[in-house]
Structure 1
Amino acid sequence: MHITLRKTLLSLALSLALAGCGEQAAPPPASQAEVGVISLQPQAQRITSELPGRTKAWLSAEIRPQVGGILQKRLFTEGSQVKTGDVLYIIEPAPYQAAFDQAKANTAEARATLDAAQLKARRYANLVKIDAVSQQDNEDAQSSLQSAKAAYQAAQAAQESARIDLAHTRLQAPISGRVETSSVTPGALVTASQDAALTTVQQLDPLYIDITQSSAQVLHYKRELAAGRLTASGDNEAQIRLVLEDGSEYAHSGSLQFSGASVSQSTGSVTLRAVIPNPEGLLLPGMYVRAQLDEAVDQQALLVPQRAVTRSASGATSVLLVVDGKVEQRQIEVGRSVENQWWVESGLAAGDQVIIEGGQKVRVGDSVKSVTLQQASSTDQLAANAAQ
């Protein structure tokens, strides 16, 4: 009996020892890596184009003489502001003053002749009724009256023409604005309607911005709008913003006023015209600018953080996704950047779980634990989850 009990205890101890050895040999379950993801959701996003443009004066007037003569005076300071009606130049007026005086005298003489003809015609009209003068004499008197009237009207027209020529010896600003440099000095001989302008007056507040857009881009937007994938951003009063030649953003925004109805045969582009305020005079005509224009709205735009996108040596872009608890890599196409995000053109859909944190710790095919993050505070949330 003692032998049997001893064998039983020995067998039990051996079983316990073998069981203990088996438990130590079993490997622990593998822990899943934790990654931070965002769920893509469509959102309305404005399509903004940055297009080249040139500034153009709101009003511009080239000053040319309408009569010839010696330039007597220049009455403005180059680069100064002038008002409508300000005298800019004076051409020697003496010849034109003499011509006006002569025309005025001729008018007075024609008026005296007319008065005499009227008296004679009236008197003969009464005398012919009592046969005191012949019918022929009366007709001659009436004819002389008509000739005197015509001569008087011609004299008046000549006087007015001489007066206009005399007035044109004082060259006035037709608009208010900034006057440019003068191409002539006092003493120069100028001629009527000459090709070279004496100076130019330009109104610089507001300014026009002539913007060019390729016809291909116009067609693309029209097709997208017709298909319903885009909606119009606004009418012809759409707002624009300017980026200057030095890269700085202009402080004032403008509005689109006109879209060209034809395509330039030389450049293949359409001209858009905008108006922008210029109260400080910072912009000058002819400056090159970049105009940022809101053209349409994509109601189903998908944006993905730039840090979630990787680019291969060949230029292909891709992101890591969590699909059914596993890591998957997917190639995508991105368009323009929106702040710190890429606008996705293809490859992703609404609801996709894009890895934005922890992607460097996992490989394609790994099982992971995903933590949904808010994009604005994704780093803080992931750090809090890791601490727990």
Structure 2
Amino acid sequence: IYVTFNPSETDLVEIEAAKAAGPIAVDVLLPGETEPSQKGELTFIDNTIDHSTGTITARATIGNAKFSLLPGQYVRVRLHVKEQPNTLMVPQVALGSSQLGKYLYVVGKGNTVDQKLVSLGPTDGDLISVTSGISEGDQVITGNLQKIGPGMPVSPLPQQKPAS
């Protein structure tokens, strides 16, 4: 079965570079899934960008051996375009957005809030990779983001482990 999706034109350079190195693996997540149940390969990229959306049409071919993927169904698609070992990962819920770009709040000197502009990479579940803007060891603020701003005092708490 085919899965059609629309990556942004800014992602196109990375996709084309990965395609030149070999086939691109694709993971498909059905609604409600946190791990992909379907895998396939990128088989088509259109040659025209939709200027109204800034996206390009792409298609993956999926085996669908269990017939769990249905025509017209909405799914999430993950492309494996490059490996990034030792990448910093942060919860996507910690991200903020402004006219300057994406940012994270971190605990700064004197337990005050610092806002750091970040560049982002691929996602992995609820986490997103940060390619620049923060360093290993920075304490990223993940809660009460609507109530804080740069320079405000905070009382950092240790990260809570998810319940198992």
Task: Output one character per residue of 1:196-235: Cα deviation in whole Å (capped at 9) or x when no partner.
Answer: xxxxxxxxxxx2222222324325x47xx9xxxxx84884
Q: What is the CA–CA distance in structure 2 between the aligned matches of 1:310 and 1:268, rounded to whole Å?
A: 22
Matching of residue 360 in structure 1 with residue 147 in structure 2 = no
Q: 2:3 corresponds to which residue?
A: 209
Aligned pair in 2 of structure 1 residues 328, 310: CA closer, same or farther (>3 Å)?
farther
User: Given that residues 90 and 127 in structure 2 are in contact (C-alpha distance below 8 angstroms), is that contact kept between their aligned partners in structure 1?
Assistant: yes
Task: Output one character per residue of 1:43-100: Cα deviation in whole Å (capped at 9) or x when no partner.
Answer: xxxxxxxxxxxxxxxxxxxxxxxxxxxxxxxxxxxxxxxxxxxxxxxxxxxxxxxxxx
Q: What is the CA–CA distance in structure 2 between the aligned matches of 1:305 and 1:266, rounded to whole Å?
A: 30
Structure 2 counterpart of 1:277, from 33, 51, 63: 63
Q: CA deviation at 1:255?
A: 1.4
User: Given that residues 260 and 271 in structure 1 are in contact (C-alpha distance below 8 angstroms), is that contact kept between their aligned partners in structure 2?
Assistant: yes
- Give the match's secondary structure for 1:348: coil
Q: CA deviation at 1:376?
A: 10
User: Given that residues 111 and 156 in structure 2 are in contact (C-alpha distance below 8 angstroms), is that contact kept between their aligned partners in structure 1?
Assistant: no
Q: 2:24 corresponds to which residue?
A: 238
Q: What is the CA–CA distance in structure 1 between the aligned matches of 2:104 and 2:60, rounded to whole Å?
A: 37
Q: What is the CA–CA distance in structure 2 between the aligned matches of 1:282 and 1:348, rounded to whole Å?
A: 40
Indicate the structure with greater helix content.
1
- Give the match's secondary structure for 1:285: coil
User: Given that residues 332 and 346 in structure 1 are in contact (C-alpha distance below 8 angstroms), is that contact kept between their aligned partners in structure 2?
Assistant: no
User: Given that residues 40 and 61 in structure 2 are in contact (C-alpha distance below 8 angstroms), is that contact kept between their aligned partners in structure 1?
Assistant: yes
Q: 2:107 corresponds to which residue?
A: 320
Q: CA deviation at 1:343?
A: 3.5
Q: Which amino acid aligns with 1:252?
A: Q
Number of equivalent positions: 140
Q: CA deviation at 1:254?
A: 0.9
Matching of residue 247 in structure 1 with residue 41 in structure 2 = no
Q: How does 1:4-15 map to 2 (within 5 A)?
A: none
TM-score by length of 1: 0.28
User: Given that residues 215 and 268 in structure 1 are in contact (C-alpha distance below 8 angstroms), is that contact kept between their aligned partners in structure 2?
Assistant: yes
Aligned pair in 2 of structure 1 residues 348, 253: CA closer, same or farther (>3 Å)?
same
Q: What is the CA–CA distance in structure 2 between the aligned matches of 1:284 and 1:340, rounded to whole Å?
A: 25
Aligned pair in 2 of structure 1 residues 333, 235: CA closer, same or farther (>3 Å)?
same
Aligned pair in 2 of structure 1 residues 258, 235: CA closer, same or farther (>3 Å)?
farther
Task: Output one character per residue of 1:311-335: Cα deviation in whole Å (capped at 9) or x when no partner.
Answer: 7xxx96421146xxx6564212355
Q: Which amino acid aligns with 1:263?
A: I
- Give the match's secondary structure for 2:70: coil
Q: Which amino acid aligns with 1:253?
A: K
Q: What is the CA–CA distance in structure 2 between the aligned matches of 1:283 and 1:255, rounded to whole Å?
A: 15
Q: 1:135 corresponds to which residue?
A: none
Max Rg structure: 1
Q: Which amino acid aligns with 1:280?
A: K
Q: What is the CA–CA distance in structure 1 between the aligned matches of 2:11 and 2:49, rounded to whole Å?
A: 12
- Give the match's secondary structure for 1:354: coil
5+ long unaligned stretches in structure 2 = 97-101, 141-153
Q: Which amino acid aligns with 1:212?
A: N
User: Given that residues 111 and 155 in structure 2 are in contact (C-alpha distance below 8 angstroms), is that contact kept between their aligned partners in structure 1?
Assistant: no
TM-score by length of 2: 0.55
Q: What is the CA–CA distance in structure 2 between the aligned matches of 1:310 and 1:276, rounded to whole Å?
A: 32
Instruction: Specify which structure has the bigger relative contact order, considering alpha-carbon pairs within 8 angstroms and separated by 6 or more residues.
Output: 1
Matching of residue 261 in structure 1 with residue 56 in structure 2 = no
Aligned pair in 2 of structure 1 residues 337, 320: CA closer, same or farther (>3 Å)?
farther
Q: 2:114 corresponds to which residue?
A: 330
User: Given that residues 333 and 345 in structure 1 are in contact (C-alpha distance below 8 angstroms), is that contact kept between their aligned partners in structure 2?
Assistant: no
5+ long unaligned stretches in structure 1 = 1-206, 226-230, 363-372, 378-388
Q: What is the CA–CA distance in structure 1 between the aligned matches of 2:64 and 2:5, rounded to whole Å?
A: 17
Aligned pair in 2 of structure 1 residues 319, 209: CA closer, same or farther (>3 Å)?
same
